[in-house]
Structure 1
Amino acid sequence: MVSLYTSIILIVGLVAPIIAQSCSDNGAAGTCKDASTCTGRTVSGLCPGASNIKCCIATAASAGSSAGLCGGYTGAIVSSIAGNDNVMYSVVKIKAEHLTTPSSASLAPTASDNTMTTSTACAFDTMATAAKNAGVSVKISSGFRTIARQEYFWNCYQTKSCNNGNLAARPGSSNHGKGIALDINTDCGGQTGAKPNCGGSAVYQWLYNNAHNYGFTRTVQSEPWHWEFRGIGVARATFA
Structure 2
Amino acid sequence: MISTYTAVVFIVSLAAPLAYACVVDNLKGTCMEKSACAGRTVAGKCAGAANIQCCLPTGTSCSASGKSGVCVDVGSCAGTAVSGLCPGAANIKCCVASGGSAGSPAGLCGSYAGSEVKSIAGNDNVMYSVVKIRSEHLTTPSSASLSPTDSDNTMTTTTACAFDQMATAAKAAGVSVKISSGFRTIARQNYFWNCYQTKSCNNGNLAARPGTSNHGKGIALDLNTDCGKQAGAKPNCGGSAVYQWLYNNAHNYGFTRTVQSEPWHWEFRGVGVARASFS
> Is the shorter-chain TM-score for this pair beyond 0.5, marking a shared fold?
yes
1:61-80 to 2 correspondences below 5 Å: 65-80=104-119
Shift of 1:166: 2.2
Deviation at 1:67, TM superposition (A): 1.2
For residues 1-240 of structure 1, the aligned pairs below 5 Å read: 65-240=104-279
3-state SS of 2:152 partner:
coil
Runs of 4+ in 1 over 3 A off after TM superposition: none
Q: How many residue pairs get matched?
A: 178
* Matched AA of 1:233: G
Matches of 2:201 and 2:264, distance apart in 1: 21
For 1:64 and 1:229, locate their aligned partners in 2 and report how far apart those are by CA, in whole Å.
25
Q: CA deviation at 1:64?
A: 7.6
Contact 2:105–2:115 under 8 Å retained in 1: no
* Aligned partner letter, 1:179: G
Higher helix share: 1
> Structure 2: which amino acid aligns with 1:199?
G
- Cα distance change on mapping 1:238 and 1:91 into 2, 3 Å: same
Q: Which amino acid aligns with 1:102?
A: P
Give the deviation of 1:157 after TM superposition. 1.5
**Partner amino acid for 1:219?**
T
Q: Give the C-alpha shift of residue 200 in structure 1.
A: 0.3
Seq. identity, %:
88
Equivalent residue letter for 2:245: W
Amino acid at match of 1:229: F
* 1:181 and 1:226 in contact (8 A); partners too: yes
In 1, are the aligned partners of 2:254 and 2:268 still within 8 Å (CA)?
A: yes
Look up the equivalent residue of 1:159 and give its one-letter code: T
Q: Secondary structure at the match of 1:80?
A: strand
SS at match of 2:114: coil
Amino acid at match of 2:234: K
Cα displacement (A) at 1:142: 0.1
Q: Is the 8 A contact 1:64 1:74 kept in 2?
A: no
Unpaired runs of 5+ residues, structure 1, are 1-62
Residue type at the aligned position of 2:235: P
Unaligned runs of 5+ in 2: 1-101
Q: Decide whether the 8 Å contact of 1:182 with 1:228 is kept in 2.
A: yes
| Aligned-residue offset at 1:165 | 2.4
One-letter amino acid matched to 2:224: N
RMSD: 1.2
Secondary structure at the aligned position of 2:117 is classed as: strand
Give 2:180's aligned amino acid. S
